[in-house]
Structure formats: structure tokens, C-alpha cells
Amino acid sequence: MKITAVIFALVFLFVPLAPAGELDRIVATVNGEPVLASDVEGAIRVEALLQGRAISEISLADYQAALDRLIDRMLIRQQMTSGYAAPGQQVEERMAQVRTAFPEAKSAAAWQALLAAYGVREQQLHKSVEEQVQLMQFVDARLRPMVRVSPEEIEGYYKEKLLPELSRKGAATEPLADVQSGIRELLVQERIDARLNGWLASLREQANVRILNPASASGVSKGMSFSAVVGR
């Protein structure tokens, strides 16, 4: 299953990181289910890790955007049943992809040092990958059957987009028969993304979402960084 832009943005890894013994703060509720400050903090830490961004570069605006994505994520999870377990093989494949993205951390010691620099534990990362795969599986199973792509649309994409792009790059032209399955999947993914946006908008309209401004709760201004928000 491919990771499309909208789905990946929605289900970026989240790792709760509230220190032991520290009172966590509720920053929002979604149909009565709380979103904790540690949920948002963990999501940002893992996202920063995967993007190679320093924690000090993350602004309060990024924090608030992460909260918004977590709310969308919770709205979808509330639609799930217990039958959507993440396949172990897909989880391990995704974990391997994450590790491969950091060639400078090939050794176990270097990998642990990298995780520690972002305040993320490997067990938490693995759990969040499992949740990511589960959510993506559910979204695909829910929305893919609603999508149709005609042979005419595939041919149109081939002639109007792919061929001009190959010509611009000076690449060899590929016959339609050789690329039509890839074009079909690309168009399917685009339409799944569009339907996901519409579905989320509908869930938002029906949901009872209460947001407690994280800036007010943290006593910080919009110009402050994420590191200031979490006090690190």
C-alpha cells in the first residue's frame, strides 16, 4: 500500500512522552476523549526526527497544527472496530524504512543516540509505527472501494502529463501498456486523498471537539518555539 501525502500527514507517528509522575495536561477533547499535551509533544518529536528538524526549530504554530492532525486521527480511530489489527510484516517493513532513512545511525549505539537526541524511545517508536499501519489499512479499506478510474482517464493522464514530463526530462517514452497500472494506482491514491479530506470534514461537523488553547495553557506567546512550549 502506498503512503499518500494526505494520509501520511494525518497519521505521522505519535508517541506519548509524559514524564513519570508529572501531571499531564488536557489540550482538547474529541467526543469526550482527551488529547493530552504529551500526545502532541510526542507527535512533534517523532515528526521532527523523521524530517531531520531540530526541536528548537519547531514553532508554536507547528504545535497547534500537530494538535489539529491528532484530532483528525482520533476522529478516524473512533470509527474503527477491533478487527483492524496492523499486520506484523508491514510494521517491520515500515520500521526498516525508518532506519534506512538515517545512514549515519547504522550501528545500534548510533541509532539509540539519535532517538535519545529527540526524546523518543524505540519501543514507543515501534508502537506508533504499528498504529500508523493500522490507521492506513483502515482508511484504504474504507475508501478504496468508493474510487473508480476509467481507461480513458488513465490514457488522458498518460498523454497529458506523463509523456510531457518524460519529454521535459529527456527520458525515453514508455508504452502505455507498461505504465498503466502505475498510473491507475496514482489516480486511485489521489482520489482516496480527496475522499479522506471530505470524510474528515464530515466527521468534524458531527463531532463534539473542544480545544483548549495550548498557548494559553502553557503561558507562552505565538512567537515562542516548541522547545519553549514543552519547557525543554
Cell of 127: 508502537
Q: What is the largest distance, in Å, between two alpha-carbon atoms of the chain?
A: 62
pLDDT tens digit sequence for 127-167: 888 888 888 889 999 999 999 999 999 999 999 999 999 99
Q: Cα dist. 216→27, 36, 131, 221, 224 in Å?
A: 10, 15, 30, 8, 12
Residue 229: which residues within 8 A CB-CB, separation 6 or more?
60, 63, 214, 215, 218, 220
Residue with cell 496514482: 186
What pLDDT shows up at residue 137? 87
Asked whether the predicted pLDDT for residue 70 surpasses 70, the reply is yes
CATH 1.10.4030.10 fits 5-230, yes or no: yes
Asked whether the predicted pLDDT for residue 181 surpasses 90, the reply is yes
Confidence of residue 188 (pLDDT cuts 50, 70, 90): very high
What pLDDT shows up at residue 225? 47
Asked whether the predicted pLDDT for residue 52 surpasses 70, the reply is yes
Q: Cα dist. 119→5, 132, 188, 191 in Å?
A: 26, 19, 37, 36
Q: Is the dihedral of CA 119, 125, 131, 133 positive or negative?
A: positive
- Rounded Cα distance, 15 and 225, in Å: 20
Mean pLDDT of 205-221: 67
Surface-to-core class of residue 42, CB atoms within 10 Å of its CB (0-12 exposed, 13-18 middle, 19+ buried) = buried
Residue with cell 501520511: 8
Q: Angle, nearest 10°, between helix axes 37-51 and 60-77?
A: 110
Contact (CB, 8 A) for 15 and 42: yes
